[in-house]
Chains A and B, each alone.
Chain A
Amino acid sequence: MTVPEPVATAARSMADRALSWLHANRAHGALPEGTTETIADPDSVYKPLGETTLAASVLLRDGVAGAGQLVAAQALMDFTWRQLREGDMLYERQLRHTLMTDPLEMYAPFVRCGYRHADLDRLLAHRARLRSVDGVELLPNRRLAVANAARVAGLDHDADWAALARATWLGSTPEPWAINWITAYAMTHTVFHLTDWGGRPHGLPPDLTAYVRTWLPVWIDIWREVGQWDLVAELLIVGASLDEPYCEPSDWEAIAALQHEDGFVPRDADPVDDDPLQRFKDHQHTVVVTAVAGSIALARAAREP
């Protein structure tokens, strides 16, 4: 058994409580009144909306959370879809900015769960044929994010996944002792997109899978030691997404134990702000990651013979 029972127990608690928190706090993630497709500061509210959507979509895809949580996940997606004016905002933003990738990336989890916007579909299909779009210069792990979004949105155009993988930091099977914090995030995202959030474990090439299995225990160890919980939770997703999952009970139990009763998970070992809005801004990403980690591990456990 590659997902041990204590991991499945921790994962259920993590996913269910994180989803409850995202649902209960969803209003903090609402776009300011009068937001248009220009979005002066996309990282402040727009990107977090996409992250919440992603978490809900993974829970719905995996379908292994509690019944109440699945209802809440659907309600969350309805909420974020309405926030984006049922796709109109994504459409207007993509219409105005042909080369921007975020409308497609935001749209993909909706497509996965059956939300469609016909004009945006037509625009994206046209855009996918442009060499100009394909030639946009992105970091290799970001290029993978776009390729996976296109795949999920049904716009797959013969992406060379092996070449895309090879171009990343992880793809060079680098010295594992020369990783740093930001590169660790690049590595986790390489795995997220190649495996489509744990849904396609074989998407990570075998040599990279072996490499990750070899060094993931070290990376989890050192970032646990310094309380980088957000990154640790991302590393848990990586382990759960491998062909043969790497899920060490003590790591999962550490995150589950850190989680508050209401589902909140602190991003790091620093003090947490008391102001609810500031808490949401600071820690929403970590709760998203916790929900996704829990869902993927549960799904892997459920698929085992």
Chain B
Amino acid sequence: MSSRADFAAAADDLAIRVLGALRGAKGTALVARHIDSAPDALAALAAIRVIGADTFSPYVLAGAAFHAEDAAAVARSFEAFPLPGSGPSAPVDERTAAWRDWATAQLLSRLGGRGTWRVDAAQPEGDVALADTADWQRWSVRMAQLATLATPGLEGPVHDAARGAALPLSRGVTRSVLRRDFPTAVRLIRWLAWLAHEGVPLPLEPLLALEHVRLLGGESPRTALDLAVARHLLEGRHHQGTQEVRT
């Protein structure tokens, strides 16, 4: 029986591997290695769903070579756990998870090649709460949960919402830094970095905020991964060969 700690440890393990590849470490298929070397196979598969689309960040952002075994491992993680509800009547937490799965599936189908590893994670429908930024506090917390979607090449309603919400996202960053909720701050700064990458003007300087939360909030493996992605976006170092995926 996998404990909560096992799941967290597995997610950290995968984050460390992804981070290594993102920073330029060359080598074997990282996701497959993560599964093969895991003490707890179920937790290792769950970790892939947790890290989600970021599993692909070395390929999307740094142009690393993609391995077919990795695609297979990601596909297995979808078989191991049920898909969350993605319809308008599903609870918001489930729809959030469904968006993350959708993002993972998008990148899998693009990078996996020839459609062999396509998984059936539908784009959530009728998520009207995405466009409602009036309650910017609650909205920005949800966007933090959707931070893996702040990845070049992904396009959809979440991105449309973010593009029109530089102010709510910046307020969310400011609020979470002042509340010392650094994990949320980092994820929202990642959205700001994505907006900067898109050329959207911002009311605050994302690189300074990023450095501030890195120094004050520390770097757990998953936070470090968000920070690394954000830095790639801000410094324009991401791999230019990616194609946009729009559904």
Contact = CB atoms under 8 A, between A and B. Distances in A.
Interface of A: 175-179, 214-215, 217-219, 221-222, 225
Contacts of A176: 174, 204
Contact of A177 (B136, B137, B167, B178): B178
Given A175-B209, A177-B212, A221 B203 contact: no
Nearest to A214: B203
Contacts of A179: 178
10 contacts: A175-B205, A175-B209, A177-B177, A177-B212, A178-B177, A217-B136, A217-B171, A218-B171, A218-B174, A221-B137
Contacts of B205: 175
Nearest to B171: A218
Interface string B160-190: 0000000100110111011100000000000
A176 B178 CA distance: 9
B215 interface: no
Nearest to B179: A222
Contacts, number: 36
Given A177-B173, A222-B179, A214 B212 contact: no
Contacts of B5: none
B1 interface: no
A178 B171 contact: no
Nearest 3 A/B pairs, CB to CB: A177-B177, A177-B174, A218-B174
B128 interface: no
Given A175-B204, A175-B209, A176-B204, A215 B174 contact: yes
A222 B174 CA distance: 10
Contacts of A225: 179
Nearest to A226: B179
A62 B58 CA distance: 62
A215 B168 CA distance: 10
Interface in B10-40: none
B175 A218 contact: yes
Interface in B109-158: 136-137
Contacts of B173: 177
B65 to A, nearest CB: 39
Contacts of B167: 214
Nearest to A180: B178
A175 B209 CA distance: 8
A175 B208 contact: yes
A18 B156 CA distance: 52
Contacts of B171: 214-215, 217-218
A221 to B, nearest CB: 6
Contacts of B204: 175-177
Contacts of B136: 217
A178 B212 contact: yes
Contacts of A222: 175, 178-179
A35 B170 CA distance: 52
Nearest to B167: A214
B178 A218 contact: yes
A175 B213 CA distance: 13
Contacts of A177: 173-174, 177-178, 204, 209, 212
